[in-house]
Amino acid sequence: MLQPYSEACERNKEPILGVLRSWFLRKGVVLEIGAGTGQHAVHFAANLPHLEWTSTDREENLEGIRSWFEAAALPNLHGPLALDVRQEIWPVREALYAFSANTGHIMSWREVEAMFAGVSVALEPGGCFCLYGPFNRNGQFTSDSNRVFDESLRARNPEMGIRDDQALLALGSRCELKFAADYSLPAKNRLLVWTK
């Protein structure tokens, strides 16, 4: 299999790592949801060796992720494990941290709800969840490019779309996750942090 490659991951991995360094401080397991190509996981595991980085995604992406993991051969990089957030039993039952990038607008809202509920169950008290991506601010697009992107997503699948930060905050509260921080990152993307 040809190794999958995401140019966006190469651009955003350093800014995201800068934020993770402030939150993923202690030794512990990270549960990554929707790992995509696996490039983020390789970069973060290599730069945060105190973490046991455990990637998951839907079955169809696992082979590509595995090709990155085998090439990287990092002792603290685990998986990839199959996880669709809608499944009842998750393969990682306990984690100090959870991370997901660019998944909120690809998942349906029901799936986003399932992701938050599952993260809340898996996270240890004192842990945190970092969610990266484009988000609307108080119901408004934060750029023309995000508006155009949202239109293209909804044309592809009406269940997809850029999520609103206030809806995510309310969802976090329902799942007993406390909203902790909001970082503005390049290309009008943000990284939202919740703690448990």
Ligand X SMILES: C[S@@+](CC[C@H](N)C(=O)[O-])C[C@H]1O[C@@H](n2cnc3c(N)ncnc32)[C@H](O)[C@@H]1O
Binding site for ligand X (CB under 6 A): 6, 9, 33-36, 40, 57-58, 61, 83-86, 101-103, 106-107, 111
Cβ at position 8, least distance to ligand X in Å: 6
Count CB neighbours of 104 within 10 A.
25
**CA-CA distance, 177 to 195, in Å (whole number)?**
6
First-to-last C-alpha distance (Å) of the chain:
39
Whose structure tokens read 């029901």? Answer: 110
Whose structure tokens read 């085998």? Answer: 70
Considering the complex, state which of residue 36 and residue 172 has its C-beta at the smaller distance from ligand X: 36
Considering the complex, state which of residue 15 and residue 27 has its C-beta at the smaller distance from ligand X: 15
Cβ at position 147, least distance to ligand X in Å: 18
Cβ at position 186, least distance to ligand X in Å: 14
- Which residue in 119, 49, 39 sits closest to 83, CA to CA? 119
Considering the complex, state which of residue 62 and residue 128 has its C-beta at the smaller distance from ligand X: 62
- Residue number, nearest CB to ligand X: 36
